């Protein structure tokens, strides 16, 4: 652990030493290494200005989860065959409030993925200014192609173990990739059955049974509002801009919806097979029918849309010229080559709707080119913000009208943009939202950890 003398003289050396220690203690977890390094590399000026942050091993505690839970999830398919998946919940930091973060059901889920997501969540939640800590969870279960009955049996088995670790004042999961209202319903029902309690232990619930209006829309809406704020800071706006959006899940759908509402033209969507470019702009009603009702592929959208839409199998949306890019699918989907293509085509802003969708090399290239870059921990915080508002509504047994929730969401996103922008200025990095977001989130969590002692 660093002492006052060696940290104040050589904060960079201490940070590099901690990076090495993270890799040693967490082998074969590249996504977690990436997330931790991305934050740590911006903290040297903070440690130089406030050496008290290094004294009680605060950084060492910050990168080590408070609790890591791994469990088996046995379940039967419709033919009676037994499957065994692995479940995870990483409760990363509760200095600011109960752990808060989604559950992801996807074959790629492992401990490293969950830890990276949980680490990002700590700073994202801190930036909202709300009383929520950071955590994340999920399973390597794939709900695609499974019947409702199979998904129900899996969710019930998953919650049978998870319920003992969560609660409205302890840990409040939400949805993520592969976990929508259907899955939240099955999880919540099993929690209620086991505990005999109705409490706001999960967010993203259905509107008729404790969910908040605007929660499904919040991540996508918030990301567009953050992009608009970055452009506004430069004396520009979204009106008339062409936008490329990756993905076709919940975040992408409502990103497209909000872009359209603000006068921009979203021309792309994608899935793991390829992407669609639609010269007239994405027909949101048709895309929702294909993706949400039929659970189909974007190729089907192109077939039905007509001459304006082209499906590009295996392609990448970033090759489409645009003013604004909003990666909204998954981690590390936008690499250095993609960033170079965006810059060549004149992109003005990139705002992350997904968690860590841009590789470190791509982030550096975009920032060097002067592109306004909104990191996910700031730009996609709208979802968790409205989740916290759902918690407040559940606690008071009330339901807020959509207008109130949207107003609160806009206020929170504006506050996140302001604190990121002002923090970057304060530490000599004007316009650098990555530095601003990392430091602002860190300071809020670090101050709370210092106040609460070495725990």
pLDDT of residue 54: 85
Which has the closest alpha carbon to 281: 248, 297, 259, 300? Answer: 259
Residue identified by tokens 């909202």 is 128
In this structure, CATH architecture of domain 216-379: 3-Layer(aba) Sandwich (3.40)
- Contact of 388 with 130, CB cutoff 8 Å: yes
Mean pLDDT of 118-145: 97
CATH 2.60.120.260 fits 67-198, yes or no: no
Q: Which two structure tokens, joined as six digits, stand for 212? A: 């908040």
- Contact of 105 with 179, CB cutoff 8 Å: yes
Q: Which residues make beta-bridge pairs with 266? A: 243
- Contact of 103 with 137, CB cutoff 8 Å: yes
Question: How far, in Å, CA of 420 to CA of 414, rounded?
Answer: 10
- Contact of 301 with 269, CB cutoff 8 Å: yes
Which has the closest alpha carbon to 375: 334, 315, 317? Answer: 334
Which residues belong to the annotated binding site? 100, 121, 124, 175, 219, 250, 387
Q: Do domains 67-198 and 216-379 have the same CATH topology?
A: yes
pLDDT of residue 55: 83
Which has the closest alpha carbon to 276: 242, 244, 323? Answer: 244
pLDDT of residue 357: 97
Question: How far, in Å, CA of 100 to CA of 114, rounded?
Answer: 13
Say if residue 28 is exposed, middle or buried (CB neighbours under 10 Å; 0-12, 13-18, 19+). Answer: exposed
Which residues belong to the annotated binding site for NAD(+)? 219, 250
Question: How far, in Å, CA of 11 to CA of 248, rounded?
Answer: 42
Q: What DSSP letter does each residue of 274-293 carry, written as one string? A: EEEEETT---HHHHHIIIII
Q: Is residue 101 left, alpha or beta, with left meaning phi > 0 and alpha meaning psi from -120 to 50?
A: left
Query: What do you get for the CA distance between the two ends of the chain, in Å?
Result: 15
Active site residues: 136
Mean pLDDT of 369-388: 98
Positive or negative: CA dihedral 317, 322, 328, 332? positive
Half-sphere exposure of 79 (CA within 13 A, CB side): 3
pLDDT of residue 10: 61
The two counts, helices (H) then strands (E), for the chain are: 18, 13
Which contiguous run of DSSP H or E holds residue 222? Answer: helix 215-233
- Contact of 429 with 436, CB cutoff 8 Å: yes
Which has the closest alpha carbon to 250: 191, 345, 177? Answer: 177
| Phi, psi at 78, each rounded to 5° | -70, -15
Q: Which two structure tokens, joined as six digits, stand for 384? A: 């968790």
Q: Is the pLDDT of residue 9 over 70?
A: no
pLDDT of residue 7: 41
CA-to-CA dists, residue 345 to 220, 233, 340, 341, 369, angstroms: 24, 22, 9, 6, 12
Positive or negative: CA dihedral 339, 342, 346, 349? negative
Model confidence pLDDT, tens digit, residues 13-43: 889 999 999 999 999 999 999 999 999 999 9
pLDDT of residue 14: 85
**From the CB of residue 145, how many other CB atoms can be counted at a distance below 10 Å?**
7
| Beta strand 274-278 pairing with 309-313 | antiparallel
| Phi, psi at 371, each rounded to 5° | -75, 135
Going from N- to C-terminal start, the domains of the chain cover: 4-63, 67-198, 216-379
Q: Is the pLDDT of residue 117 over 80?
A: yes
Q: Which two structure tokens, joined as six digits, stand for 369? A: 């080119």
**From the CB of residue 247, how many other CB atoms can be counted at a distance below 10 Å?**
30
Model confidence pLDDT, tens digit, residues 328-356: 999 999 999 999 999 999 999 999 999 99
Banded pLDDT at 12 (limits 50, 70, 90):
confident
Q: Is the pLDDT of residue 327 over 70?
A: yes
Model confidence pLDDT, tens digit, residues 242-253: 999 999 999 999
Model confidence pLDDT, tens digit, residues 160-188: 999 999 999 999 999 999 999 999 999 99
- Contact of 348 with 236, CB cutoff 8 Å: yes
- Contact of 394 with 210, CB cutoff 8 Å: yes
Mean pLDDT of the chain: 96
Residue identified by tokens 């999830």 is 73
Question: How far, in Å, CA of 237 to CA of 226, rounded?
Answer: 11
Model confidence pLDDT, tens digit, residues 391-442: 999 999 999 999 999 999 999 999 999 999 999 999 999 999 999 999 999 9
């Amino acid at each position: 652990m660093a002492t006052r003398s060696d940290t104040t003289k050589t904060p960079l050396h201490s940070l590099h030493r901690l990076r090495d220690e993270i890799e040693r203690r967490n082998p074969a977890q590249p996504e977690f290494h990436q997330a931790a390094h991305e934050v740590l590399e911006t903290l040297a000026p903070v440690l130089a200005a406030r050496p008290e942050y290094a004294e009680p091993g605060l950084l060492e505690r910050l990168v080590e989860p408070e609790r890591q839970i791994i469990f088996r999830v046995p379940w039967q398919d419709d033919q009676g065959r037994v499957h065994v998946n692995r479940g995870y919940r990483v409760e990363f930091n509760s200095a600011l409030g109960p752990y808060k973060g989604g559950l992801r059901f996807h074959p790629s889920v492992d401990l490293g993925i969950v830890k990276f997501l949980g680490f990002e969540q700590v700073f994202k939640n801190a930036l909202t200014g709300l009383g929520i800590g950071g955590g994340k969870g999920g399973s390597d279960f794939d709900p695609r192609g499974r019947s409702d009955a199979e998904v129900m049996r899996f969710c019930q088995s998953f919650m049978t173990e998870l319920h003992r670790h969560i609660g409205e004042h302890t840990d409040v999961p939400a949805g993520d990739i592969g976990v929508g209202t259907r899955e939240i319903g099955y999880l919540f029902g099993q929690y209620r059955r086991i505990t005999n309690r109705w409490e706001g232990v999960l967010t993203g619930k259905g509107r008729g049974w404790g969910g908040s209006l605007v929660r499904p829309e919040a991540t996508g809406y918030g990301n567009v509002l953050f992009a608009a704020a970055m452009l506004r800071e430069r004396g520009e706006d979204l009106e008339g801009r062409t936008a490329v959006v990756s993905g076709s899940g919940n975040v992408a759908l409502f990103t497209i919806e909000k872009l359209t509402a603000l006068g921009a033209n979203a021309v792309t969507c994608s899935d793991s097979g390829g992407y669609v470019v639609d010269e007239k702009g994405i027909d949101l009603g048709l895309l929702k029918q294909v993706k949400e009702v039929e659970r189909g592929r974007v190729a089907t959208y192109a077939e039905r849309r007509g001459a304006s839409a082209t499906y590009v199998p295996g392609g990448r949306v970033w090759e489409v010229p645009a003013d604004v890019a909003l990666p909204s699918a998954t981690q590390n989907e936008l690499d250095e080559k993609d960033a170079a293509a965006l810059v060549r085509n004149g992109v003005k802003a990139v705002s992350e709707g997904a968690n860590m969708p841009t590789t470190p090399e791509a982030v550096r290239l975009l920032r060097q080119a002067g592109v306004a870059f909104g990191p996910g921990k700031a730009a996609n915080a709208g979802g968790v913000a409205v989740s916290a508002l759902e918690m407040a509504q559940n606690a008071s047994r009330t339901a807020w009208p959509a207008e109130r929730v949207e107003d609160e969401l806009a206020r929170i996103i504006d506050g996140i943009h302001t604190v990121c922008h002002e923090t970057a200025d304060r530490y000599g990095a004007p316009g650098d939202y990555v530095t601003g977001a990392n430091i602002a989130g860190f300071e809020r969590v670090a101050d709370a950890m210092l106040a609460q002692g070495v725990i």
